[in-house]
Amino acid sequence: MLTVQFLCDKLTVDTENLDKGARLMFKDGPGKRIKKYLDEHGIKQRYIAEKVGISLSTFNNKLNGKHGISADEIELVCGVLSVSPELFIKPKLPEGV
């Protein structure tokens, strides 16, 4: 695994499977923002997990930052919620800007 901090969120790349079509995984940030959004809107994690096609425990781990959440999974969650992925993937400005 390779973890890189961009000007946005931390991104993890599965370097062991690059030739197999590695997925980009966000470790910090988007999962926690999705969790906050669900809490604020009274949406159950179980409902989203079922719609996205992953177990509740796996989805919960992704929201709590224990596992990375892929860009594809963020898009699926956003499709279920009918919101833009930009709601959960936020750029960070460099210090002093």
Does a structural domain hold residue 93?
no
CATH code at 52? Answer: 1.10.260.40
Does a structural domain hold residue 58?
yes
**pLDDT per position as a tens digit, 19-37:** 544 455 565 688 999 999 9
Range of the domain at 66: 2-87
Does a structural domain hold residue 95?
no
Does a structural domain hold residue 26?
yes
**pLDDT per position as a tens digit, 48-95:** 999 999 999 999 999 998 888 888 899 999 999 999 988 888 766 667
C-alpha 96/C-alpha 68 separation (Å) is 29
Does a structural domain hold residue 34?
yes
Q: Count how many domains the chain has.
A: 1
C-alpha 59/C-alpha 76 separation (Å) is 12
Contact status, residue 63 vs residue 45, Cβ threshold 8 Å: yes
Q: For the whole model, what pTM was predicted?
A: 0.69
C-alpha 67/C-alpha 70 separation (Å) is 10
